[in-house]
Amino acid sequence: MILVTGATGNAGGALVRTLAEAGEPVRALVRREVELPAELVMGDLNDPESVAGALGGVRGVFLLAGYDRMEETLAAVARAGVGHVVLLSASAAEAADVSNPVSAYHVRSEALVRESGVPWTVLRPRTFMSNTFRWAEQVRAGDVVRDSWPDAAVATVDPLDIAAVAAASLLEKGHDGRVYGLTGPQALRPADRVRILGEVLGRELRFEGLTDAEARAEMVAGGMPEAYAEAFYGFFARGELDESAVLPTVDEITGRPPRTFEQWARGNAEAFR
């Protein structure tokens, strides 16, 4: 049995489906009843006792970073005799300035997993292609998409590829103690992604970049803490985090090239119509 936390998220949900399609028994830690091809267990990653209650018969755990009392959760995982933990971290763990809170919680989560005594693999995906869903309302309403960091080229990654590498790490030998940076096959600026999305939808979409001040104000207005908004400003406006490099990891682990943004857009086009 594989326990997937974050099972209603983009990466966790993709992993649940990937494991189920492969015929692997999968258990999903969820906070509410949902439709998933998995055995559901109610719990919360901020509550180590609820995670401990989901570990019976589990040989591998897919774990999200940054939750409360994570050392207690990992102690429970170790006591249960789990054979492998795959941590979903992020490229923020590689940033030069780890004093910002986004980098800090990823760095700390990785350190706790390494110290847990359980064999581990760390995944550091770049920005998810599925973050494009935040454009859906604008696309349905008109032909202009406005978003932040217009000059930041990012090798965005499909959650299906994150799931494929996570599944391989949990089911195959040879991934203990490895840190995998995950990217898509090309670095694209927001305007490039808008153009490709428009081609898929049969429309001529146009991108307009927010100023740095507008981007920060929008993040804070949306409920993001000031410190996190400052961290993302540092990453993408000041260039403290470079997500433009294309890495060979998905191809090396899965034996196939990573999915393109066009493939992702075609598979999710209905969300923008």
- Residue 86 near residue 166 (C-beta atoms within 8 A): yes
- The two three-digit tokens of residue 61, written as one number: 């755990």
Low-confidence residues of the chain: pLDDT under 50: none
- The two three-digit tokens of residue 158, written as one number: 């499909």
Q: Is 104 helix (H, G, I), strand (E, B) or coil?
A: helix
The pLDDT of residue 89 is 98
Q: Tell me the C-alpha distance between 111 and 76, whole Å.
A: 17
The tens digit of pLDDT for each residue in 239-265 reads 999 999 999 999 999 999 999 999 999
Helix (H) or strand (E) holding 26: strand 26-30
Closest residue by Cα to residue 131 from 112, 149, 107: 149
Q: Tell me what percent of the chain is helix, strand and coil, each rounded to the nearest 5.
A: 45, 15, 40
Q: Which residues pair with 2 in a beta bridge?
A: 26, 60
The pLDDT of residue 254 is 97
Rounded to 5 degrees, what are φ and ψ at 123?
-105, 130
- The two three-digit tokens of residue 97, written as one number: 């300035």
